[in-house]
Amino acid sequence: SQGGAELSLCAEVTASGETRRGKLLYERADGAIFPLHFEISPLRGSTGKTLGVIGVLMDLTEEEEAKAQIEAQRSSLLQVAREVMEAAATLNSDALDLSGQMEELSRSVEETAAQTANLTKAMDQMNLQLHHVISDIVGQTGLAIVDAILAGQRDPSELAKLRGVLI
């Protein structure tokens, strides 16, 4: 025991006449130490005089082990929670990056659509039918005409001179 703590507690209860309760570490004869809950109450006779004490000791080993397991589980859950928060932060960051890339792609598509509309308008003004241009653009003549237009040529007769002999 803790240096005769049980005996001193019994003496205190006998002297004061008041119940004492609490926890202590108890050492068995084989050297094993384990936690105990104690409650020591005065034992009174018919006249009310304290004749001795009565005590209850409860081994708290299982409770202490359960507390340790709960604490270990709590620590594990806190670690998992931290990892989940880190993953969520990473996902949020990646989502923001992806959102920015999607906005950039959307702007590029809008710019391409505007350039296509301008090209269509320019071809219409030069009396070029877009469906014919698209079907012809993959050949040498089509590529030559597109290159000329991109170079600034707008004269239909000059563009017509770029046609191949089969057209």
Using CB atoms within 10 Å of the CB of residue 65, give its burial: 0 to 12 exposed, 13 to 18 middle, 19+ buried: exposed
Q: What is the pLDDT of residue 3?
A: 47
Q: Is 42 exposed, middle or buried (0-12, 13-18, 19+ CB in 10 A)?
A: buried
- 2 has a pLDDT exceeding 60: no
What are the b/e assignments for 1-30, b being 16+ CB within 10 Å? eeeeebeebbeebeeeeeebeeeeebeeee
pLDDT digit string, tens, across residues 77-101: 999 999 999 999 999 999 999 999 9
Contact 61, 28 (CB under 8 A): no
Query: Is the predicted pLDDT of residue 74 greater than 80, yes or no?
Result: yes
pLDDT value at position 85?
95
CB 142 within 8 A of CB 136: yes
* DSSP tag of 25: E
Residue type, 22: G
Query: pTM here?
Result: 0.43
Q: Spell out the residues 6+ positions from residue 16 whose beta carbon is closer than 8 angstroms to its own.
A: none
